[in-house]
Structure formats: C-alpha cells, structure tokens
Chains A and B, each alone.
Chain A
Amino acid sequence: MPDNVRQVVIIGSGPAGLTAAVYTARANLSPLVLEGEPSSTSDQPGGQLMLTTEVENYPGFPEGIMGPDLMTRMREQAARFGAELHQLKVAKVDLSSRPFGVWIGDADASEPTYRAEALIIATGAQSLLLNLPRENQLIGHGVSTCATCDGFFFRDQDIAVVGGGDSAIEEATFLTRFARTVTIIHRRDELRASRIMQDRAFNNDKIRFRWNATVTELIGEASLEGVVVTDTKTAETSRLDVTGLFVAIGHKPSTSLFEGQLPMDAVGYLETVPGTAKTVVEGVFACGDVQDSTYRQAITAAGSGCQAALDAERFLEAAHDRAVTTD
C-alpha cells in the first residue's frame, strides 16, 4: 500500500470524530484524524465544546467538566491508542472511487494528499450568524460568537444575546458574571432551552427578555453601540442600547465539502441509513451533528462516532475477505 493510503481517515475532531478515533485505533486500524484548523467559531479542532464552559450533562463527570478540558481528554485518549491527529483542514474529497481521495491545502492538486479505504465524516456544525450588514466588520468590536472568549470585556455593561436554545441561555447566564444586564432577544414567545436552563435564566435578576423580536440592524461605527429590534408580530421597531451582542441562533451542518457527492436534506444534514452510520456510498460513514438534526448533544455525537467506527471496521473486514477470496 502506498504511504498515503490509510485504512481509516476521520474528518473532524469533536466528540463524534474522536470517539470514532478511539474505537478504530483500538481495532488496530491506525486512523488518521484531520482535526480542522483553529478558529473562533465552532469550526475548529475539538468542535463546539471548545467554546463552552461547564458541561454538566456528560455522564461520568458528576461535578461537571469544562468543554475544552473534555475535548483535550478525548484527544489524549485517541492518541494513546495510536490515532494520528493533525490540525489540518480538508479542502476537497473525491468519493467517486475507493480508496477515496482527501485533499489538504490545494484543492486543485492532481493527486490527493491522502487516500482512505474507509472515510468517517464528523465535520459537525458551525454557528449561524445574523447576516446583517457590517456584522463581520463588528465581530470583535461588540459582536461575538464566543461568550467564553469575550464576556470578560463587557464588565458592567448592558449587552444582549440573540437566541432561545440551550446555548443561548447558557451564554446569557454565563455573561451575567460580567455584564450589568443581559437581554435575551428571541423570535418566539417561549424558550426552546431545557427546563433547568430556563429556570436558571428566569431566576437571574440580571437577565431580561425581549420576546417575539429579531435584531434587524446593528448600530455603531468603530464598535457596537446598539441594535434595532423588530417585533415579529407588530413589525414595530425600537432601539436597544447595548455594547455587546452575542449571537447564538443555532448551527448549520458543515457539509459543503460533500455537495453533489452525498445526499443531504434541505438544510444540508447528511443522510444516513437509519440505525447505522452508513451513507449511500459504501465505505463512507457519517456521525455526530453533521447527520443529526434532532439531538445534537455531545453524548449522542460520541455514541454515533462509536457506531461509525464499528460500521467502518466491519466494512473493512468484509472488503478484506472479498479480496482474499477473489485472489
């Protein structure tokens, strides 16, 4: 086998990718994990948990554990059993024939950087932005996608969080450590977050709510000075003076690499055979948030990473058996 042909290549290094790495490494498949590159969004080595603080619902940690610490431990566990991990971002894949091609860096290079007998896709999901004018320009100047990174800079200020799910409420609660007030702007009249998170928010004096509201304009030149909030029922607009805006309106699956090569739903989630991690392409498996629009938890991602590893292992054994009998 040429050097660059690997039995298993795993793209992504969140709970799904790293669990798949632990299992395939223990099955002596010497997995190569392409972890992604550093960034300040969830699209980075370690995935979404790298941007969280306390994780209280991952079994086995009764006192809770910090998200980045949990991911560091998973990475160490995979490395301990021989997984090879690289902080590299995949530029292109070719799933039309096996071994599958995986390109790093130059997507136009004639030869792929690696080839994979089995490919496990665990690219996860990335945070959605509001898509407002000057939003990108104001990131780092009041607009933020990472409360743990930036909350510190908003001591005694009035800030807002957009969103109503678990991550929005967790961020808002975390931000009350620093801010004077935190306004949660949510487009519905009730939260989607779990009950325990909701109770925490409702009982927090620093948190207030703007229901049935969306942010429609960002005010401020060099840095954020306020936002325009539009009522979703009456279309009435009003100004909210905030120096910080934390965006937590959900995620979209990171599947642009696979467009035209793997079936996905309208939003972009990869489709797998129910009850398995198999995609329609034999030898390509998907696990974690990239194929899960329902649960999207660290523990379900880890569980599906295990499924992908076992499915890949069985696939490689069967492929090996076929090769032996035809020889």
Chain B
Amino acid sequence: MGANVNHLSDTTFDETVAGSSEPVLVDFWAEWCGPCKMIAPILDEMADEHAGKLAIAKVNVDENPDIARRFQVMSIPTLILFKDGEPAKRLVGARGKGQLVSEIEEFLS
C-alpha cells in the first residue's frame, strides 16, 4: 500500500515537483494530525488508480518546515495540486474520496 506515493523533503521537493510531467498532488501532513491519518488511505488508493495521470506526494511538515512555510501552510491536511511546477489548486481540510476526486478532476485529463 502506498507504493505509488512519493515522500518529499526540503531537498527533494523542487526537482520532483518541477520535473514531473504529470500534475502532482502534494499532501502536507503530520503524525499528530487525526484528519491527516483519515485521508492517507484515500490518497494511496488515488495514487494507484490514477497512476500515469497524477502523481501523489507527501510532505511531513514536522520534518520539512521550510516547504510548509514557503507555501503558507497553516492548517493540515492541506493538499496543493502543482501543474508544471506551479500551485494550481489548494484544498484545506480532510474530505471524502468522491469529493476529493471531483475537485481535482479537471487536472486528470
């Protein structure tokens, strides 16, 4: 489970996100955040189901405070969808799978 989810750090973030041919949905999370744990399995499923169309990556905000600060993350989970290396959509707060997929559907073509 979660084999398709890439864990990013302050040092690997830029090359991974900017160098990706498909859009990257980045999940800012932490171990102590209950709602983050609830959506983790959903993101694992999405990574498998949309492989080749959407990359899913995670940033642990405890270990990588610089990226969190750079994108002004003040609440987790925050999901930011990057297209061509630039933030294109931001989703704050946990939600169910159906709603999550429909909110990023436009980027999945």
Task: Give me the interface of A with B, judged by CB distance under 8 Å.
Answer: 37-41, 44-46, 50-51, 67-68, 87, 89, 105, 139-142, 144, 146, 148-150, 152-154, 223, 244
CA distance A45 to B34 in the complex (A): 10
Residues of B55-109 at the interface with A, using a CB-CB cut-off of 8 Å, are 61-62, 68, 72-78, 92-99
Known interface pairs A50-B34, A148-B34. Does A44 touch B94 (Cβ–Cβ under 8 Å)? Answer: yes
Q: A142 touching B74 by the CB < 8 A rule? A: yes
Q: A150 touching B94 by the CB < 8 A rule? A: no
Chain A residues with Cβ under 8 A from B35's Cβ?
Answer: 38-40, 44, 50-51, 146, 149
Number of A-B residue pairs, CB cutoff 8 Å, is 85
Q: B30 touching A152 by the CB < 8 A rule? A: yes
Known interface pairs A51-B34, A148-B32. Does A141 touch B74 (Cβ–Cβ under 8 Å)? Answer: yes
Q: B30 touching A40 by the CB < 8 A rule? A: no
Instruction: Indicate whether B18 reaches chain A with its CB closer than 8 angstroms.
Output: no
Distance between A88 CB and nearest chain B CB, rounded to angstroms: 8
A151 nearest CB neighbor, chain B only: B32
Distance between A108 CB and nearest chain B CB, rounded to angstroms: 16
Task: Give me the interface of B with A, judged by CB distance under 8 Å.
Answer: 30, 32-39, 42, 61-62, 68, 72-78, 92-99
Distance between B42 CB and nearest chain A CB, rounded to angstroms: 7
Known interface pairs A38-B96, A40-B94. Does A150 touch B75 (Cβ–Cβ under 8 Å)? Answer: yes
CA distance A148 to B76 in the complex (A): 9
**8 Å CB contact of B75 from A39, A50, A51, A153:** A153
Distance between A124 CB and nearest chain B CB, rounded to angstroms: 15
CA distance A244 to B62 in the complex (A): 19
**8 Å CB contact of A139 from B68, B92, B99:** B92
Q: A44 touching B76 by the CB < 8 A rule? A: no
B29 nearest CB neighbor, chain A only: A149
A35 nearest CB neighbor, chain B only: B38
Q: Sample 20 A-B pairs with CB under 8 A, ordered by A number.
A: A38-B42, A38-B94, A39-B35, A40-B93, A44-B35, A50-B34, A51-B35, A68-B37, A87-B38, A140-B92, A140-B93, A144-B75, A148-B32, A149-B34, A149-B36, A149-B75, A150-B75, A152-B30, A223-B72, A244-B74
CA distance A50 to B68 in the complex (A): 23
Q: A67 touching B34 by the CB < 8 A rule? A: yes
Distance between B56 CB and nearest chain A CB, rounded to angstroms: 16
CA distance A154 to B65 in the complex (A): 12
Known interface pairs A38-B96, A39-B94, A140-B92. Does A46 touch B34 (Cβ–Cβ under 8 Å)? Answer: yes
Q: B39 touching A38 by the CB < 8 A rule? A: yes
Chain B residues with Cβ under 8 A from A40's Cβ?
Answer: 35, 75, 77, 92-94
Chain A residues with Cβ under 8 A from B68's Cβ?
Answer: 153
Q: A139 touching B93 by the CB < 8 A rule? A: yes
Chain A residues with Cβ under 8 A from B96's Cβ?
Answer: 37-39, 87, 89
Q: B34 touching A139 by the CB < 8 A rule? A: no
A37 nearest CB neighbor, chain B only: B96
**8 Å CB contact of B76 from A68, A139, A149:** A149
Chain A residues with Cβ under 8 A from B30's Cβ?
Answer: 152
Chain B residues with Cβ under 8 A from A45's Cβ?
Answer: 38
Distance between B8 CB and nearest chain A CB, rounded to angstroms: 18
A140 nearest CB neighbor, chain B only: B92
Distance between A151 CB and nearest chain B CB, rounded to angstroms: 9
Chain B residues with Cβ under 8 A from A139's Cβ?
Answer: 75, 92-93
* Residue of B42, B61, B94 with most chain A CB atoms under a 10 A cut-off: B94
Chain A residues with Cβ under 8 A from B62's Cβ?
Answer: 152
Q: A153 touching B74 by the CB < 8 A rule? A: yes
Given known contacts A40-B92, A152-B61, A152-B76, what 14 new A-B pairs fall within 8 Å (CB)?
A: A37-B97, A38-B35, A38-B94, A39-B96, A40-B75, A68-B37, A139-B75, A140-B78, A140-B93, A141-B74, A144-B74, A152-B30, A152-B62, A223-B72
Q: A148 touching B74 by the CB < 8 A rule? A: no
Distance between B11 CB and nearest chain A CB, rounded to angstroms: 21
Distance between A43 CB and nearest chain B CB, rounded to angstroms: 10
Q: A149 touching B38 by the CB < 8 A rule? A: no
